[in-house]
Each structure stands twice: as C-alpha cells, then as structure tokens.
C-alpha cells in the first residue's frame, strides 16, 4: 500500500504545503514546474540549491486506462485514476521534504546529508546524477574511482 494512495488532497494544495514548509524552515527561494513526464521542485536553503524531480505517472498506463479486471475505462474515469496517482506522488514528496527538514531541525541529521542527492552542482547536475554512474562502475569493476582521474 503506497503512502497517501487514497488522498483527496489536491496536487495544488500539496505543492503549496511544500512551499509553506520550506519558508517555515528558512528557504529563501522556491520554484516548481512540470511537463508530461515529471514535475520539478527547487529551492535554496543553507546556501545550497536543491532540486527534486518527481516522476509523473503516464496517462496511457494500463492501470489508468483499464479496470483491474481488464475492462476499458471511460476517458473521464481513466483521468480520475491518473489524477489520484498524481495526488499520491505530491503527498509523498511533501512528506519526504518535511521529514528531512524536521530531522535537521531536531539535530538528528545534517542538512547536506539529508539533501545530498538533490544538491545542485555548479554544472547543473545533482550530486545523485554525478555520483550514480561512478557508484555503478565501482561495483561492476570492484575498483574505486581514481581520486584525481585526470592525473592518470
């Protein structure tokens, strides 16, 4: 069972809640946007730019277009199912951000540790985008990346 899978909270309300939460914990910038495949939430806090990419469900996915028994849904019913999945994603993102900020506020964690994967680097990629290929290569090869790769 997914968190908030039956939520009635709209995506707009969840996004506004994220913005209010960030303001309350000290963010001094906030932005969001979306396209067919994903939504993005960005903010600046603790002198760091943070970006979350929220994958959006595909409206054409069979779980929206068909009932569990395989019957084709009407377009409005399929949209309703898809919209529910979007609401769930936004509620989950709100929970994640709030939990991370509360952990930092309570002294359980350090800001950079909680948000490390989502910190935006000077070239526009996130730490996660930068590190995941290196981690995969290290596991495949059994070798750690060279500390200074350009020095041979």
User: 32 - beta bridge partners?
Assistant: 41
What is the pTM for the complete model shown?
Answer: 0.89
- 149 pLDDT above the threshold of 60: no
The per-residue pLDDT for range 99-120, each reduced to its tens digit, is 999 999 999 999 999 999 999 9
Quick one: 104 exposed, middle or buried, by C-beta within 10 A (0-12, 13-18, 19+)?
A: buried
For residue 151, how many other CB atoms are within 10 A of its CB?
Answer: 6
Comparing C-alpha atoms, which of 114, 150, 122, 145 is closest to residue 132? Answer: 145
pLDDT given at position 150 = 59
The per-residue pLDDT for range 14-31, each reduced to its tens digit, is 999 999 999 999 999 999
User: What is the mean predicted confidence (pLDDT) over 52-74?
Assistant: 95
pLDDT given at position 151 = 56
- 123 pLDDT above the threshold of 70: yes
pLDDT given at position 2 = 87
3-state DSSP assignment of residue 130: helix
User: What is the mean predicted confidence (pLDDT) over 8-18?
Assistant: 97
Exposure string over 71-91, b if 16+ CB within 10 A, otherwise e: eebeeeebeebbebbbbbbbb
pLDDT range class, residue 38, cuts 50, 70, 90: very high
In 35-83 the beta strands, taken as DSSP E runs, fall at 38-45, 48-55
């Amino acid at each position: 069972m997914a968190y908030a899978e039956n939520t009635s909270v709209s995506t707009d309300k969840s996004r506004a809640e994220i913005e209010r939460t960030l303001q309350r914990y000290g963010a001094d910038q906030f932005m969001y946007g979306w396209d067919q495949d994903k939504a993005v939430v960005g903010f600046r806090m603790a002198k760091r730019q943070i970006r979350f990419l929220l994958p959006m469900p595909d409206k054409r996915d069979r779980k929206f277009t068909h009932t569990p028994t395989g019957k084709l849904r009407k377009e409005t019913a399929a949209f309703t199912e898809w919209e529910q999945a979007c609401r769930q994603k936004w509620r989950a993102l709100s929970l994640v951000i709030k939990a991370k900020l509360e952990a930092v506020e309570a002294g359980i964690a350090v800001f950079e540790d909680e948000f490390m994967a989502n910190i935006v680097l000077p070239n526009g990629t996130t730490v996660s985008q930068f590190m995941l290929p290196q981690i995969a290569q290290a596991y495949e090869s059994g070798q750690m990346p060279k500390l200074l790769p350009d020095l041979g």
